Amino acid sequence: MSTVSNKQSTSSGNAGFVRGTMLLSGASLISRALGLIYLFPFQFMVGATGIMFYTYAYNYYTIMIGVATAGIPVAVSKFVAKYNALGEYDTSERLYRSGLKIMSLTGVVSFLALFFLAPYLAHRAIPGGDVDSASYVDAVTMTIRGVSFALLLIPPMSMTRGYFQGYQSMGPTAISQILEQIVRIIFLLAGVSIAIYLFDSGVAWAATIATFSAFIGAIGSIAVLIYYFRKRASGLQELRATQTVRSPDRPLTDLYKELLAYAIPIVMVGVSTPLYQVIDQNTMNAALQSIGYTL
């Protein structure tokens, strides 16, 4: 009888894992498809120059996101799943609430760093020596600062997604990813259209609005996560109430060391591609100018 029960439990767990994987894979696929489709009208409106401003800003932003979140969603999900399996629900909860504060602080620090370093980073991407260099540096500075606001929200948002995944609840992450992309794209296309066709703004302002859309999309994602957190709060509380053994008094420093051990390899892989892109953009323009090309 016990063997049959264990087999049923294992089968149910495997089914949940497959279903969760399908949800996350489907959400990622839909998000990427939406991210590809909107580029066509966006490029038509801002042209090659506007795309250049947008891309330069996003490359820096992607690196900062990788550093600020430090692979948190996957690492937190593994951490929470591990201690929930041990019956230590309060350990998972303690790390989440403490980590949420740290991730919020990390978001503020990374935002300030990217915002105030924007002129330097723009200058690195746009070398001098060309008549348009100064105006291009100003434009890239604006777009970098536009996207920097998203860093205020992404780290705590990532922490919450990982928390849900640790409870084998993939729906909040999947739905928040899709809604984040939809809200971002609607704001981006509407804002850029208004800026160009209604107010006759330049491509620099249009690209800045486009990068700022990442912040608006993050607001939509957080709204979804808050909804699910409130909806499932009673269920999570009942689950924690089933804990029959007292959790060991684990120091937070030990918990963070374990969390970082999960996260560091993930962030190294995630940052590698945008790092290559930044190195490319910061060296290619100077190399082309040195042989006679202009911006």
Q: Model confidence over 139-192: pLDDT tens digits?
A: 889 999 999 999 999 888 888 888 887 777 778 888 888 888 899 999 999 999
- More confident of the two residues 111 and 77: 111
H or E element, residue 155 = helix 154-166
* Cα distances (angstroms) measured from residue 262 to each of 99, 242, 245, 266, 282: 14, 28, 26, 7, 31
Tell me the per-residue pLDDT of 20-63, one tens digit each, with 9 for 90 and over.
Answer: 667 767 777 777 787 778 888 888 888 888 888 888 888 888 88
pLDDT of residue 295: 54
Domain span at 146? 2-290
Q: Given a cut of 90, is residue 98 above it in pLDDT?
A: no
Number of domains in the chain: 1
Q: How many residues does the chain have?
A: 295
Residue 111 lies in a domain: yes
In a domain, 35, yes or no: yes
Comparing 41 with 285, which gets the higher pLDDT? 41
In a domain, 65, yes or no: yes
Q: What is the DSSP string of 212-266?
A: HHHHHHHHHHHHHHHHHHHHTHHHHHHHHHT--SPPP---HHHHHHHHHHHHHHH
295 inside domain: no
The per-residue pLDDT of the chain, averaged, comes to 77
Q: What mean pLDDT is predicted for residues 217-223?
A: 92
pLDDT at position 212, please? 93
3 state DSSP class of 182: helix
